[in-house]
Amino acid sequence: MRAHNLKRSALCLLLALLTGCSSAVSQERPRSPESQILLCESTPEALLASGDLRGADLRDLDLSGLEDTLFASDFDTNTQWPEALPRDFDPARLLELGRDPGLGLRALHEQGITGRGVGVAIIDQALPTGHREYGDRLRLYQAYHNAAGEAASMHGPAVASIALGSGVGVAPEALLYFIADDLGAGEGEDFARDLTYYAQDVDRLVALNETLPEGEKIRVISMSVGWMPEDRGAEELEAAIARAREAGIAVVCVNSRDPLLELWMGMGRRCYGSYNNRADLRPGAFWEENLYAGDYRGGDGSLLLVPMDRRTLASPAGEDAYAYFAEGGMSWVCPYVAGLYALACQVKPEVTYEEFLAAAQATARPVSVWRGGETEYPYGRAVDPAALLEALSPSGGGGGPA
């Protein structure tokens, strides 16, 4: 799933589209298609084993002895819990803590640094267009190929809300331009990965941007996808990315071979900790064991870290629905970085991505973790948005709305 390490859902979702859809859907300020989410038959025990409790009815179970399992599970605002829960497991509190994008961003939002007037484009899976986190700022939605026949996905609303969600996002007043598309053709065993579609989508966004007025232009494209040079369509996608950058649009994706992107990584936090508190920061769940084994590429402390694990994000289960993901992946990192760049564009409209990256490197703060009380493991530097924006601010005395 898009270079993303989230657990596969055993909670099958059937997204029933109740409105017509052509092979390519394009509309401005679109209205969300109505959809039903029907649960495939699965026992509560099987759902617990899967680690995916979104939409699950667990009311008849005694979960009091399953603390470790529950803290490692995904769930949502539709999950129904029993009375018998571990004493320290509080799903409502986890959901609330996960809404905060962290790194002091809410304090910046209160100062008016919100990404207002900056366009963020995302290429991903199908999007439920009416979610409260971004629906009122969705300026364009297009869907192509199989994605045109889907009402929603888990991935689309999650990445959109990370970048610019009004309550959980990095840039809560940025404008959203979204293209839903496929990463190849075919179904099941016949699926063949092909990045050509994404290359075409990047070119569509570049062409669109030429028509947009100032104050609505796209400044960054986020794609939660990675690839190898030999993948079909890789050459075309990399050429399209180069054209976008030449046109003044930054592109953020999962590419460790690109010097503009290789430094970014996601991190975690204590279960009830805060990304605003450095003492609560922890290695990312998907790479933590690699750190201790000496196989983590950021062991030299060079990587730039942003929140990834234990996030509460927009869910396709309803316009007011949210899902809590115990473990994230690089899919969550890309839109976070795109949101940060949107804030930088507000503070300094003429900023380039290269300037933004240099400022992030210069202002990030080192983090490490002790294991066994004996060994310290440096694992990167946590981005400091306030210091980053201050470094970019024309006054040099603290970022503020442009």
Domain ranges of the chain: 13-36+98-392, 42-89
Q: CB of 129 within 8 A of CB of 138?
A: yes
Cα dihedral 50, 180, 79, 89 sign: positive
In this structure, of 109-118, 187-196, 334-343, 346-355, the range with the lowest mean pLDDT score is 187-196
Tell me which fold the domain 13-36+98-392 belongs to: Rossmann fold (3.40.50)
Measured CA distances, 168 to 73, 187, 215, 318 (Å): 20, 34, 23, 16
- Residue 401 pLDDT: 35
Model confidence at 38, pLDDT cuts 50, 70, 90, reads very low
CB atoms within 10 A of CB 342: 29
Locate 320 and state its tokens.
């007011």
Residue 401 near residue 346 (C-beta atoms within 8 A): yes
Q: Residue 248: helix, strand or coil by DSSP?
A: coil
Q: Which helix (H) or strand (E) holds 205?
A: helix 196-209
- Measured CA to CA in angstroms, residue 105 lies from 102, 112, 114, 276, 347 at distances of 6, 11, 9, 8, 14
Is residue 150 within 8 Å of residue 127, measured between CB atoms? no
Binned at pLDDT 50, 70 and 90, residue 14 comes out as very low
Place of tokens 């207002």: 116
Summary mean pLDDT of the chain: 88
| pLDDT tens-digit map of 126-165 | 999 999 999 999 999 999 999 999 989 999 999 999 999 9
- The number of C-alpha atoms within 13 Å of 373 and in the hemisphere containing its C-beta is 0
* Beta strands 311-314 and 138-144, pairing class: unpaired
